[in-house]
């Protein structure tokens, strides 16, 4: 099973699912092959979220260090962005999200963008009698 050859499809010959019973509504042929231009998971998470997070981290790196990152640091920033996007995804296992965020924090600590100390909790403001 593979993709349909591109030469066999022209703009006017792509079958409509209403007219052709061999095509399902999800953009697949009944035998499991995808139609040209149809995604395998149309309702899936967009892949560009990690790129946006990595660009934000890159700008934070430039602001913090006043220089461009080295190639190794650029890869670490891109990887941290992808990991943070994975940790924020809605349908990710809790263990996987925790591992992804911990690994991203290790990358950010090594780049000087995160402190090792956790943030201090504010003292509760309860009046004592």
Residue 106 has pLDDT above 90, yes or no: yes
Specify burial of residue 80 (Cβ count, 10 A radius: 0-12, 13-18, 19+): buried
The contacts of residue 94 (CB under 8 Å, 6+ apart) are none
Cα separation, 50 vs 55, whole angstroms: 9
* Residue 17 pLDDT level (bands cut at 50, 70, 90): very low
Dump pLDDT digits (tens) for 51-89.
Answer: 899 999 999 999 999 999 999 999 999 999 999 998 988
Residue 88 or residue 36, greater confidence? 88
The mean predicted confidence, pLDDT, of the chain is 76
Length of the chain: 129
Residue 114 has pLDDT above 80, yes or no: yes
């Amino acid at each position: 099973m593979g993709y349909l050859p591109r030469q066999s499809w022209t703009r006017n010959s792509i079958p409509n699912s209403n007219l052709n019973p061999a095509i399902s509504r999800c953009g697949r042929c009944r035998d499991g092959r995808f139609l040209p231009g149809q995604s395998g998971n149309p309702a899936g998470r967009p892949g560009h979220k990690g790129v946006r997070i990595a660009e934000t981290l890159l700008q934070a790196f430039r602001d913090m260090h006043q220089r461009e990152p080295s190639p190794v640091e650029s890869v670490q920033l891109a990887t941290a962005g992808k990991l943070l996007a994975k940790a924020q995804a809605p349908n990710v296992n809790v263990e996987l999200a925790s591992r992804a965020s911990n690994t991203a924090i290790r990358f950010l600590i090594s780049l000087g963008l995160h402190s090792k100390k956790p943030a201090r909790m504010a003292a509760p403001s309860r009046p004592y009698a």
